[in-house]
Structure 1
Amino acid sequence: MFVLTVDQRKSRTAADLVEAAMTALNRDPGRPLRLAFDRTAGDEMQAATESAATAVGIGLELAASGHWSVGIGVGGVREPLPSNTRAAAGEAFERARAAVTAAKTAPGNIAVSGASPLAGQAEAVLQLVAAVTRKRSKLSAEAGLLISEGLTQQEAASRLGISQQAVSSRLHSGLWHECRRAAEVGVVLLEGADA
């Protein structure tokens, strides 16, 4: 099982983003959650999933935004699961707590904790992807998000009012393809850490 504990960064000086983030994440049918995101403290939320791809996708999205510190805990949970995350317990929840604390000062503000050495390897990959994602230019991010939505480069170019070559250049400078492949490696490593 994978538990995400997510803490809003600079919450004392910024608007509360937790409610809007929880609503958006809990409504996404493409990301199966065993326990939906729930506020566990003032500026913190937590969820559980059996899908490494879901944990990586959500973790990278939130960490790369710069607004969140993300901890991913890998391990067992006490079954049966309760109806909300605040009442849940087990190794994955304990490890997620340790990971979110580490994420506050980690590269890319993402950390992974699990018993297997593969958890540490997954953490290294995810930190790299999150750090690269944060350094992208606005133009590169704009093109990459359209490609991530399933548009072709030609369709993205048409939507942005630029050439297909310009879209390709933006994807190249933002290391979009490399980051996508690295995130896939992170998923495989997390799956191995939970085996």
Structure 2
Amino acid sequence: MYVLTIDQRGSTRDRDRVPELLAELTSLGFPSFERSVGDELQGVVDQAGQAVDAALHALRSGHWYVGIGLGEAVVPDGGSPREGIGSAFVAARHAVEFAKGAGSRVPLSVVAGMLATGAAEEDGMATERPDTHGQGTDPAAEAVAACADAQAVLRLIARLRQERTAPQWKLVDTLNELTAAAPHGIQKLAAERLGVSEQSVSRTLIRAGWQEELAARPAAARLLEFAHRSVAAAHGAAGAKGGGN
């Protein structure tokens, strides 16, 4: 599973935006998210694509730090994410803290959970791609590299989305709404609904990078899923090594 910790930016100078984001995530099909503490939300999702969707939606407004933790996650049946245990919860906490230190970069981080004790655990908390040249196939390093790859692509998509203007978002939102109801001929339908020409719709979509986002989202999900498998493999390798000692 994928654990997301989402913390409000500048909350001491802003209103409480948690109820608003919770309502939005619920409307998008993520009812498991809830306030964890203060101005922070936490949620657990089963699929990489769901983690991508939730993270990118939160980043859209610019009001949130987003951390994605990969590793073991156990939530009681019908229980709250606050009752969850496992390395993915710890990783998500580290991830959101790393996101707060992103500076001018998109405030999102993907972090591998505890891979083992000692040095490997510290490696598992890295957020930049390590130099694995000449290191063979060390599972911990590979897991960290996979997380960094997923993080990089997610940040690129989020940057593209954050640079859209209000009119561009109005068109993109209209297209997304129409796609759910009628996947064919949506640009013509969007032009009719917005009272503009199809040529104007095409030009705006190019500037908004809509097609590029549609193409990149599945890639980000696959990278995140691969990172999840890599973390699990590293965890298993660390356990086997520990058992062999």
- Same topology, TM > 0.5: yes
Alignment of 1:1-195 (within 5 A): 1-29=1-29, 31=30, 36-78=32-74, 80=76, 83-106=79-102, 107-114=105-112, 116=143, 117-151=145-179, 152-195=186-229
Distance 1:92 1:128, change over 3 A: same
Structure 1 residue runs of 5 or longer lacking an equivalent are none
Aligned CA-pair RMSD: 1.7
Shift of 1:153: 0.6
Deviation, structure 1 residue 57: 0.3
Whole-angstrom distance in 2 between the partners of 1:122 and 1:47: 19
Greater mean deviation of Cα atoms: 147-156 or 165-174:
147-156
Distance 2:53 2:166 in 1: 20
User: Which one has a larger percent strand, Structure 1 or Structure 2?
Assistant: 1
Distance 1:159 1:27, change over 3 A: closer
Gaps of 5+ in 2: 113-123, 125-142, 180-185, 230-245
Aligned counterparts of 2:38 and 2:227: Cα–Cα separation in 1:
30
Partner of 2:234: none
TM-score by length of 2: 0.73
Structure 2 CA distance for aligned equivalents of residues 87 and 47 of structure 1 = 11
Q: Distance in 1 between matches of 2:226 and 2:73?
A: 17
Maintained 8 Å contact 1:108/1:127 = yes
Q: How many residues align?
A: 191
Deviates more, 1:170-179 or 1:77-86: 77-86
Query: Rg: which structure is higher?
Result: 2
Shift of 1:39: 1.0
The structure-2 alpha-carbon separation of the partners of 1:81 and 1:118, relative to structure 1 and needing over 3 Å to count, comes to farther
Amino acid at match of 1:156: A
Aligned partners of 2:162, 2:221: CA distance in 1, in Å?
A: 20
CA distance in 2, matches of 1:175, 1:7: 27
Identity of aligned residues (%): 36
Task: Tell me, in whole angstroms, the C-alpha distance in 1 between the residues paired with 2:60 and 2:23.
Answer: 19
